[in-house]
Structure formats: structure tokens, C-alpha cells
Structure 1
Amino acid sequence: MNETIPAAFAQAVRRDPTVPLLTWYDDASGDRTELSGATMDNWVSKTANLLADGAGLGQGDTAAVLLPPHWQTAAILLGAWSAGLTAAPTAQPGPADVLFTSPAELASAAAWSAGDRYATGLLPLAMPLRPLPDGYVDYTIEVRGFGDRFVASQPVTPSDQALGDITHASLSGTASARASSLAITPGARVLIDATAHPDPLDWLLAPLFAGASIVLCANLDPAVVDKRAASENVTLILQ
């Protein structure tokens, strides 16, 4: 079993970089974004390079990710973990070395003490956020200037912290157990209602450690579920 999140992600990409790893739908906006393993790997690498080279962060530093389920949230979390950062539990505001948020979460973000602050509108085609909140850098603009390949100066180990004080080894075990409880199996194509499963453990890590691909749906319209499941070759629906 993979004992770190970067190792699980790397294995997911290696299986077949060309097939969809995460497909995003928002039934309120009509947005659909499909990311192959290779495309997601590019976004994750760019984010890790943004954190390591742009912000000067790494092992032991903390990222607060105040974002809903979204493909950009996946890239940011996986990029942070790849760069050796630990994700801050977001239930209680506190200090963080870097913070990512959206306009909907600005009030919550204001309660955090953070150095670098990035905002994203989570818009179709990763469009820039306009207007940009004062004190924030636009993630979607800034991240594009960084390299598509990331090489960690210190490899992430199972004993490194991944979520607060929880280590990669512990979180990996939890994610695998959660995948089993949700009946996510290797090779599955899982349609996930983002509203019903807002925890990254469900919508990102459990499928990742199970070796499944993800169809993540925000504002899911019940009327389209069966048709979408057929068109996306879905084998499991989590609502």
C-alpha cells in the first residue's frame, strides 16, 4: 500500500496518463472540465513549484485550503502535499504559512493569520478572478508561470505530517479504509455528489488510494445522474 499521498498520486498518473483522472461538473454554471492524469500532474507540479520556488515553502510548513470540492482544490491540495506541506484543519482558524480561498470564503479566510494569500474564482477554463480581493494573488494566473515538473528537495515520507498532526501513513490508511467502506474498488469510475461528500477524504483521497477515477459534480441535478453515469462510464454513484 502507498503510505504517502504523493506516492498514491504518482501511481494513479502512471497507470495511464492519457485517461481521465478527474472530471468536473457544475450543473449550476454548466461547466465541465476533464483532466487526464498527465494534465492533473501538470497542475499539481505547477502548484508545488509555486509553493516551493515562489513562496519558499516546504517541509513542515502549513497550507490552509478554504475551498469547496473542485478540480482546482484537488490540484492545490495535491501540490501542497507534494511540496511537503501539511494541510491545516480548517474547522478552527489559526496560523498558516500560505492560504488558498475563493470569494465565497473571504470572511472565513480573514480569521486566519497567513503569509502568502491566493484566491481563485473556480471559474470555467481556470479564468482569472475579477475583481481580485485586496491582499490576494490570483492563483490561476500565478501558477501558470511555474514548471510542469516538480522534483522535491526532500521526498515526502510516511512519518511526515499531512493533515494537522496526522501523518501521511495514518491518513493513507484512513483513506484506504474509507474507500472500502464506500465500496470504491480499483479501476472504478466514481460519480460523487460534492454536496453530499464535501470532505476531501471522500471525494479525493479515497478514490485516489483505491485506484479509481473521479466524476465530481457540484450542484448535482438529479435529473441528469443516469445520463451522466452512462456517458462517463460510471461504475459507482455516491450521493
Structure 2
Amino acid sequence: MSTLTAAVLAAVDDTARPLLTYYGPDQRVGLSGATLENWAAKIANYLRDEAGLLPGDTVTVDLPEHWQSAAVLLGLWWAGLGVAGHDDDARVVFTTRDRLEEHPGAEELIVVPLDPFGGRVPDLPAFAGDFGDTVRPHGDRFFPSGGAGEALPGHTVEAVRERARAAATADGVTAGMRVLSTRPWRTADEIVAHLLGPLLSGAALVWVDPATGADLSAVAATENTDLILD
């Protein structure tokens, strides 16, 4: 069974071009298809080879919208894993420094810095792992060994692909576009429509955190986007 990540990568016509651009408070980070693929590979290799997860297992992703969150999702899907339900902590949890206490049952707590360069998180307790230290040593190529039944809670891989493409069609997203969006992607339905919709359609996504208060028209002009979804 093909993974969602394989489908996203297959839709990229030029891996050197920006695929995901993130605008956050005091941040602008642009990742080419190749760079995002490398991060996803490192995460997938960690989850399979170090954490020992098997296709069909789940991972908790307790993160806001960010380029690192997208990399985590693509990494776990590539390893044939699914996203755990909201109230169901999996063995491995990716979260932020301020939410560590929300996951007392996790075997592996990985703290994601949400900074522009994936740097280290200072002053972590002994029971938590740093995102950069944990995933960066792993290889930036990945060879999948199986697929998950459910990529998101209640959503099979095939259902996600169909729904994402339907959402993209409804929004007028087509291959080759650069799409500027402020739409959230934290819930399963939001991830399907607002993150995977553009990516599975072969479009590049420029995501702007509404908290920045950015002038979307100005961002659209700077990024040369074709469509604004807000």
C-alpha cells in the first residue's frame, strides 16, 4: 500500500523548488521538496529504526501548524504509521516544551522547538528528548517497508487521498500552483483539506500564521502565489 508521503512526493514536479513555506511570528522558512523529503526521511528512520515502531502503529502529534509539524506528519506516514487520536497517547509523542506534562504515559517524548532551523530546546528534563538531537543523526533517505491502514483517526490512506483531492478541487487548487493559506490544520479534517489538499494536488503551500497579522496581499506578491485561501 502506498503511503501519503509517497503520494505527496510523487506529485512534486521539481524537488528543487519551494514546496512548503511557513510564515510565523518572526519567522519565514521555505523548504524545497528535497529538503522536506530529507526531514521526513530522518523522522521516518528514527521512528522505525530507533523507536521500533511497525506499520500500523500510531504516533501522537501534539503540535501547532509549523514546517516541523508537517515534517513530522510526512515522516510518520512514510514509515507506515498513523496519527493517534486526540485522547490516545501513543508510545511516541511529538510535542512542545510547554505541553510535556500533558503526556505522562508516553515512552518517548520528543520536544519540537518550532524555530526556523530546528535548533535545540534548552533545559529539557531527563525524560524528554530534543527533536534535533533525536532525528538529525538519522539518514536523509528512507525506504518504506509497509503502509498504515489509517493515516489519521477514522481516515484510511485511500480515503484521505480522495478527500484531500476533492477539497483541493473545490478550492480551485491545481498542480503547479503556489497557494497562500491561513487555514488551520490541527484536526484530522483540517489536515486532509488544508495541508494535504494542496500538496497531493501538486501545488506548493505558503502557510501564514494568522497570529502574525501579515498583510496577505503583500505576502502573495512577495511569494508570487496564485491563490489565497483564508
* TM-score normalised by L of structure 2: 0.90
- Name the counterpart of 1:106: 100
SS of aligned partner of 1:117: strand
Equivalent-residue separation in structure 2 for 1:72 and 1:223 (angstroms): 21
Are 2:199 and 1:205 equivalent residues in the alignment? Answer: no
Q: Is the 8 A contact 1:191 1:236 kept in 2?
A: yes
Structure 2: any 5+ residue segments left out of the alignment? none
- Name the counterpart of 1:117: 109
Identical pairs, percent: 40
Equivalent-residue separation in structure 2 for 1:85 and 1:101 (angstroms): 17
Following superposition, the deviation at residue 54 of structure 1 comes to 1.1
- Name the counterpart of 2:180: 191
Equivalent-residue separation in structure 1 for 2:214 and 2:71 (angstroms): 29
Correspondent of 2:83 among 80, 83, 87: 87
Q: Is the 8 A contact 2:62 2:93 kept in 1?
A: yes
Q: Is the 8 A contact 1:69 1:203 kept in 2?
A: no
- Name the counterpart of 1:78: 74
Equivalent-residue separation in structure 1 for 2:126 and 2:208 (angstroms): 30
Q: Is the 8 A contact 1:190 1:234 kept in 2?
A: yes
Equivalent-residue separation in structure 1 for 2:211 and 2:170 (angstroms): 23
- Name the counterpart of 2:120: 128
Deviating above 4 A after TM superposition, structure 1's stretches of 4 or more consecutive aligned residues are 220-223
Q: Is the 8 A contact 1:48 1:83 kept in 2?
A: yes
Q: How many residues align?
A: 227
- Name the counterpart of 2:156: 167
SS of aligned partner of 2:35: helix
Are 2:7 and 1:16 equivalent residues in the alignment? Answer: no
SS of aligned partner of 1:125: coil
Following superposition, the deviation at residue 55 of structure 1 comes to 0.5
Q: Deviations over 1:77-133 (max 9, x none)?
A: 01000001111132xx124121100124334434xx322110112012111111224
SS of aligned partner of 1:145: coil
Following superposition, the deviation at residue 220 of structure 1 comes to 4.8
Q: Is the 8 A contact 1:49 1:150 kept in 2?
A: yes
* TM-score normalised by L of structure 1: 0.87
Equivalent-residue separation in structure 1 for 2:182 and 2:200 (angstroms): 19
| One-letter amino acid of the structure 1 residue matched with residue 203 of structure 2 | A
Segment drifting more, 179-188 vs 197-206: 197-206
Following superposition, the deviation at residue 181 of structure 1 comes to 2.3
Equivalent-residue separation in structure 1 for 2:150 and 2:223 (angstroms): 35
Q: Is the 8 A contact 2:3 2:80 kept in 1?
A: no
Equivalent-residue separation in structure 2 for 1:54 and 1:86 (angstroms): 17
Q: Is the 8 A contact 2:173 2:201 kept in 1?
A: yes
